[in-house]
Amino acid sequence: MGSGINPSCQPLDKWGVWGYRDTSLSTTETPVEESRMGKRKRRVVTGYAQMWPREVFHIVEKNRLLKEVLDALEKPGVYVLYIDDVPHYIGKATRRLADRLFNHSKQPGDKYYNFWNFFSAFEVPKPYIDQIEAVLIAAMPTANSASPRIRPIKIPTKAKKALAKRRQIKI
């Protein structure tokens, strides 16, 4: 996805939550797209749901969870649980995002049951799920106990010293 606002990204239904899904892909296709240069490139994220309220898992029709919610979150991927607008936990779903998020929202025994009220979800093909989860964990301070398997790049010593010197209060 390029920069700017994607015309396919629009408020979904009456809650005004945002989301995007590349509807040109079937569930069996490899996520590949043509670039402007005519080269083929793989898509790492094929769709997303942004800041959906937890309450979507409390909407039932005929004693069943709303089908549209299940359908919207049918693919595997990575998700972020928020306390208001602050990221709290980052997780992955290797099967359906809906199932994993439902467990977090409806199972009182779940470790994160009481600690979130919004979520964002990203559809990610299975080969990339662990990498995308690791990037999000590394990028955001959260309650995750896992540490990503990515080599951290430390601030060079010379830069640290220069920053410390700039922060000194001169009296």
- Positive or negative, the CA dihedral 140, 44, 121, 93 is negative
For position 15, what pLDDT does the model report? 40
Residue stretches of the chain with pLDDT short of 50: 1-30
Write out pLDDT tens, residues 71-92. Answer: 888 999 999 999 998 898 999 9
pTM: 0.68
3-state secondary structure of 135: helix
Residue 5 placed within a domain: no
103 belongs to a structural domain: yes
- Residues 123 and 78: their CA atoms lie apart, in Å, by 7
Considering the domain boundaries, does residue 1 fall inside one? no
Overall number of domains in the chain: 1
Per-residue pLDDT tens for 149-159? 777 778 888 88
**Helix (H) or strand (E) run with residue 32 in it:** strand 32-34
CATH number at residue 94: 3.40.1440.10
* Range of the structural domain that residue 83 is part of: 10-167
